[in-house]
Amino acid sequence: MTPTTQQLNDWDKQYVWHAFTQMACYEPLIIESAEGCELIDTAGRRLIDGVSSMWCNVHGHRHPTIDAAVTEQLGKVAHVTNLGCSNSTTIQLAKRLAELTPGDLDHTFFCSDGASALEVAIKLAFQYWHQCEKPQPQKTSYIGFEDAYHGDTIGTISVGGIDRFNAVFKPLMFPVERLPIPDRRLPTRAASCQHHLNTLEETLAQHHESIAAVVIEPLVLGAAGMIVQPEGYLRGVRDLTRKYNVLMIADEVAVGMGRTGTMFGCQQEDVVPDILCLGKGLTGGYLPMSAAIATTQIWNAYLGDYSDAKQLCHGHTFGGNPLSAAAAIATLDVFEQEDTLAQLPAKIERIKQQLSHLAEHPHVGDVRQYGMIAAVELVKNRETGEHFPWSERHGHQVCQFALQHGLWIRPLGDVIVIMPPLAVSIEQIDTMCRVISQAIDHVTLSKASLP
């Protein structure tokens, strides 16, 4: 017997433990199906998927090419281990990634999600310095950034910097060299890039002998509130890591797969990291899969006789899963077949145009955008920059209004995130931005006028 919507709501609240959610306050939104860039809930309500189902749906839901690829793979094999074994689909995906990624990022370690890819990258960098051509085993620390987010494993929260997520776990975390968030607005837009690079170089000059790697989200720090880095900063980070003989780990779990307008964010500034981490959109948002992709220099440090014990002792049960690999290959096929990247400039410009009027809103502190990533930051007082009390959840209220008007989005505190599928139409962009504007007015202006 098919459960009713009310039964599903009750069971959802009782049996499902949702991520980053106070379950005592949780109100269910249950999605029954999806089509294109829209989600359909159990009541039949259609919602524009304004955050790509947590930043990972690239070509829309139920894309026929990806559906067909997964179905075809089901007729072959759904899962085989990659421990001492392989499968043809995953092999072809690894080759495809080697051809697609910049430089000699030719060697892919498959994982299950973004956090696990970053965990692998952290360990790869650590072990590399023990067994590279000129070993430097004292390189055991990392450089991370304030408010950076790389996942929720012990390793990734250690290199991450969001205190409200990590505070309770501090006794479990290892120390890192933590730098201020590289915000293009600080100290001024004109001086920002050199200021933040100077800060990085001061740290590298002092600690490079003990630093294994810099871990960075290229171009945009996602969970920090979609903070955009100054132009040229990523290129400068790559130059400084080479100067001081430190590895660079690029976390492109959020910004990769076309989000910035190029397939990989690093390509915007002609950067080849030592390890590139992908996730989220790698399978078009269909199935769990991520990847830590290393250069040949990293790869070679792990080669040797069995008795050398140089192999990476790390693995995931579903690493390299054939179904996920099939979805990933199909996702890359769609990029080519639909010329997805060539369609983005018009959409990027439309988002910019639609959000431009919010820049002067009395309760908007900043409107920022990089490619198909955009954010609107709410403030209590635009002139002073004073924020609303966090407990009032203005960002959440804006998203609730949007939900009632056909748009599904999620906030980061009082930052409204806009990250639709790359396949979103111009008309859907217009609707999405109009609803967000109305929601901000409703939450901030209508309440401000009340006695």
Residue 437 amino acid letter? S
Burial 315-333 (b: 16+ CB within 10 A, else e): ebebbbbbbbbbbbbbbbe
Q: How many CB atoms lie within 10 A of CB 169?
A: 12
φ, ψ dihedrals at 328, nearest 5°: -65, -45
Burial 175-208 (b: 16+ CB within 10 A, else e): ebbbbebbbbeeeeeeebbebbbeebbebbeeeb
Strand boundaries in 54-157, DSSP class E: 105-111, 141-145
142 assigned ligand-binding residue? no
Tell me the DSSP string of 227-270.
EEPPTTHHHHHHHHHHHTT-EEEEE-TTTTTTTTSSSSGGGGGT
| Rounded CA separation 179/197 (Å) | 10
115 assigned ligand-binding residue? yes
- Which H or E element spans position 89? helix 88-100
317 assigned ligand-binding residue? yes
CB 289 within 8 Å of CB 321: yes
Calculate the CA 373 to chain-centre distance.
11
CB 75 within 8 Å of CB 238: no
163 assigned ligand-binding residue? no
CA–CA distances in Å: residue 15 to residues 18, 19, 20, 114, 426: 10, 13, 16, 25, 39
CA–CA distances in Å: residue 126 to residues 214, 246, 248, 264, 274: 12, 11, 12, 25, 13
258 assigned ligand-binding residue? no
286 assigned ligand-binding residue? no
- Which H or E element spans position 32? strand 31-35
Residue 115's closest CA among 299, 316, 262? 316
Q: How many CB atoms lie within 10 A of CB 118?
A: 28
Cα 298–253–30 angle (5° rounding)? 150
410 assigned ligand-binding residue? yes
| Rounded CA separation 243/213 (Å) | 13
Structure tokens at 444: 């901030």
* Bridge partners of residue 47, in order along the sequence: 39
| Rounded CA separation 438/94 (Å) | 45
Query: From the annotation, which residues make up the binding site?
Result: 114-115, 149, 251, 280, 315-317, 410
Query: From the annotation, which residues make up the binding site for substrate?
Result: 149, 280, 315, 410
Query: From the annotation, which residues make up the binding site for pyridoxal 5'-phosphate?
Result: 114-115, 251, 316-317
